[in-house]
Amino acid sequence: MFDKIQTIIHDECGVAREDIVPEADLRGDLGIDSMAAVNLSFEIENAFGIVISDEELATLTTVADIVALVEAKQEKPND
């Protein structure tokens, strides 16, 4: 799961793979602004077959947060 998300962040945002670690802050460490975060959420939705609401997107601050959300969404596909 982490590897796939790491690849999506790398491909969509141009962040070096070695910088994409679970504890990395999306904005502060990886330089992902709000527009890039929206685009990233679309790619993650497509890759994993989930839907990320605007409210959920606003709560994501680290790479680990993305992984946890995707895992939770895959466990409960109707949410």
Domain boundaries defined on the chain: 2-75
Distance CA 35, CA 5 (A): 18
Burial (CB count <10 Å: 0-12, 13-18, 19+), residue 65: middle
Residues recognised as catalytic = 33
2-75 topology per CATH:
1.10.1200
Q: CB under 8 Å to 11, separation ≥6 — which residues?
A: 43
Give the tens place of pLDDT for each residue, 33-71.
999 999 999 999 999 999 999 999 999 999 999 999 999
Whether 52 and 45 have beta carbons less than 8 Å apart is answered as yes
Give the predicted TM-score (pTM) of the model. 0.92
In whole angstroms, give the CA distance from residue 63 to residue 40. 12
Tell which wins on pLDDT, 57 or 78: 57
Query: How confident is the model at residue 77, as a pLDDT?
Result: 55
